């Protein structure tokens, strides 16, 4: 039976470390600040934004929220980003996705100053991640690496399989595993023999957004299984990509949903905001 990886407990440790760093920066007269922009009235986005504000308050990060109406124009949104880029008290800028139809999300991301891009979505930061010379890491993949490290399993030399090729999770996840000297395979909707490939994975990360997609038969005995998915099953219950009841008896370590990857994403956002404040104030770690 697999050991359940407790994302809540691990994220609490990260937040504690961040709070200590924030306190040290305040002693130097530096107050880290995060601006969160939300456009429209998407219910899930509102929950995420509220959670981020609570996390900021808990670790001592100053936060500002900009809640814009759903009919906000591209020009208005870009003007706000320009304003936030210039605000010295704001070290990090996060634009909550998805944006309403008609808004160009890529153009919005590219408008953010790379030094304030705490999501690490800007092309400049993506390039730095590719080179292994990054300041910021995308929050979810960075959180996944912390979860894997918590198991004591060394990524170096392991067969790592990532299911999903999104710019937000799949691609950067593969790159971070590669930086840890894992041997990485990226799978997606057109991958042939997916089950067979997954069966060879020492570390399996699923980020496809499909309930019960990963069956127990796809899990190598003793593997580390990280479930990034956040879905609703046929009964409306929150679940991941992995059929937990089938995978848990076979895996060595496994993340539950909820309580696995989710808490880590916000914790890593707090960590990135502190890193941004240090970068902008030229504070050496």
Model-wide pTM > 0.85:
yes
Task: Report the catalytic residues.
Answer: 52, 96, 119
Q: Which fold has domain 30-116?
A: Rossmann fold (3.40.50)
Domain ranges of the chain: 30-116, 139-262
Per-residue pLDDT tens digits for 175-196: 999 999 999 999 999 999 999 9
Enumerate residues 6+ apart whose C-beta is below 8 A from 55. 15, 61, 266, 267, 269, 270
Q: What are phi and psi of 225, to 5 degrees?
A: -115, 120
Query: How large is the average pLDDT for residues 198-202?
Result: 98
Band (pLDDT 50/70/90 cuts) for residue 234 is: confident
Count the Cβ atoms, other than its own, within 10 Å of residue 74.
14
Burial 212-221 (b: 16+ CB within 10 A, else e): bbbebebbbe
Q: Which fold has domain 139-262?
A: Rossmann fold (3.40.50)
Query: How large is the average pLDDT for residues 55-75?
Result: 98
Q: Please indicate whether the domains covering 30-116 and 139-262 agree at the CATH topology level.
A: yes
Half-sphere exposure of 207 (CA within 13 A, CB side): 22
* DSSP classification of residue 242: B
**Are 60 and 22 in contact, with CB atoms under 8 Å apart?**
yes
């Amino acid at each position: 039976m697999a050991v359940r990886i407790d994302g809540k407990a691990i994220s609490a440790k990260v937040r504690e470390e961040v709070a200590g760093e924030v306190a040290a920066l305040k002693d130097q007269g530096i107050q880290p600040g995060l601006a969160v922009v939300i456009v429209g009235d998407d219910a899930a986005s509102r929950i995420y934004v509220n959670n981020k504000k609570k996390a900021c308050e808990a670790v001592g990060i100053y936060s500002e929220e900009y809640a814009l109406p759903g009919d906000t124009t591209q020009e208005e949104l870009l003007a706000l980003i320009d304003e936030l880029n210039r605000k010295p008290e704001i070290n990090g800028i996060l634009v909550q996705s998805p944006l309403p139809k008609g808004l160009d999300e890529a153009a919005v991301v590219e408008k953010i100053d790379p030094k304030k891009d705490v999501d690490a979505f800007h092309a400049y930061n993506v390039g730095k991640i590719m080179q292994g010379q990054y300041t910021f890491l995308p929050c979810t993949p960075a959180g996944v690496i912390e979860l894997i490290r918590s198991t004591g399993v060394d990524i170096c030399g392991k067969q790592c399989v990532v299911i999903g090729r999104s710019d937000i999770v799949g691609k950067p996840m593969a790159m971070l595993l590669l930086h840890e000297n894992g041997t990485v395979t990226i799978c997606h909707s057109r991958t042939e023999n997916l089950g067979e490939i997954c069966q060879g994975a020492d570390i399996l990360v699923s980020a496809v957004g499909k309930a019960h997609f990963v069956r127990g038969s796809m899990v190598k005995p003793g593997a580390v299984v990280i479930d990034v998915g956040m879905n609703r099953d046929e009964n409306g219950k929150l679940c991941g990509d992995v059929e937990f009841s089938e995978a848990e008896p076979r895996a060595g370590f496994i993340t539950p949903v909820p309580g696995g990857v989710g808490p880590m994403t916000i914790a890593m956002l707090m960590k990135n905001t502190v890193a941004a404040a240090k970068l902008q104030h030229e504070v050496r770690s």
